[in-house]
Amino acid sequence: MGNLTFFFDQLLSYSYLQQALTAAILVGIICGVIGCFIILRGMALMGDAISHAVLPGVVIAYMIGASFFIGAVITGVITALAIGYVSQNSRVKEDSAIGILFTAAFALGIVLITGMRGTGVDLWHILFGNVLAVSRTDLWVTLGIGLFVLLIIILFYRPLLLSTFDPVMAQATGIPVQMIHYLLMLLLSLVTVAALQTVGIVLVVAMLITPGATAYLLTNRLPVMLCLAAMFGVISAIAGIYFSVIYDVASGASIVLVASTLFALAFFFSPKQGVLTRYWRGKRAKEMSATS
């Protein structure tokens, strides 16, 4: 109880903490929502690729004095297009193209950073985030990205839904499946940029996948899954910031660990999909059949 009181006192006293919590909540919502489509389409590796591929864009933007946002989005979109081009114009399959291009982009980013020693570039914060250093400008950028992503998902909900569950039928009804795919890649790049300051490049994929995967274990309906994933993202953000402040540990890692804990609870205790729930249900059924 004392820790909770201390946390609220800190929250009311320091504006940077308020900004950090707001940014983390926004990132939790948009990562949870976009992550649902990434999971259902089997594109978790693509999410990993985009999140790592933005690193050189961030570094180059720093070198020329441009916005991190612009550099990261451009690099993310170029990588997504390059992956599609390589997989469609060679014998190399998409998963191999993803592995080749995202590791190449990430390595380029590391080389650029190590070549800028003494310039004040903080590799730790780029890779693992520092939500407590979120500025008001960063917060507005995150809010803008969040509103844009949610608006696009609402406007294109039906094409996204059909192309996710039945791409052949979607194409037969006139839906531009390939365009929807690249639209999702653009949204994924934007969400990755929004999450950079909060959890960093390395941990972005965890926030993209884990809340959505947790929701996937609890429901078979997409609207419910989207709401649950957003809720788990928010819970992870709030609890992660709390533990970060109380125990003075890395904020991004704390957020991801809370999200992972929620997934573990759903994995074991989900009413329909939980491992232990199914075990207890099977054991009870055997006992009832034995006594009847």
Q: What is the CATH number of the domain that holds 249?
A: 1.10.3470.10
- Give the range among 24-28, 165-169, 214-218, 271-275 with minimum mean pLDDT: 271-275
Pick the most confident of 17-26, 92-101, 194-203.
17-26
Output the pLDDT for position 11: 79
pLDDT (tens digit per residue) in 31-41: 999 999 989 98
Count CB neighbours of 13 within 10 A: 9
Output the pLDDT for position 245: 86
Rounded to whole angstroms, how far apart are CA atoms 148 and 189? 12
Q: What is the pTM assigned to this prediction?
A: 0.86
Share of the chain residues as helix, strand and coil, in percent rounded to the nearest 5? 85, 0, 15
Give the domain extent around 61. 1-290
pLDDT tier, 123 (very low <50, low <70, confident <90, very high otherwise): low
Pick the most confident of 40-49, 123-132, 231-240.
231-240
Return the half-sphere exposure (C-beta side, CA atoms, 13 A cut-off) of residue 127: 9
CA-based end-to-end distance of the chain: 50
Rounded to whole angstroms, how far apart are CA atoms 146 and 233? 13
- Split into its structural domains, the chain has a count of 1
pLDDT (tens digit per residue) in 231-282: 999 999 999 999 988 888 888 888 999 999 999 999 999 887 788 888 787 7
- Spell out the residues 6+ positions from residue 35 whose beta carbon is closer than 8 angstroms to its own: 47, 207, 208, 209, 210, 211, 212, 213, 229
- Spell out the residues 6+ positions from residue 159 whose beta carbon is closer than 8 angstroms to its own: 170, 175, 176, 180
Rounded to whole angstroms, how far apart are CA atoms 18 and 214? 27
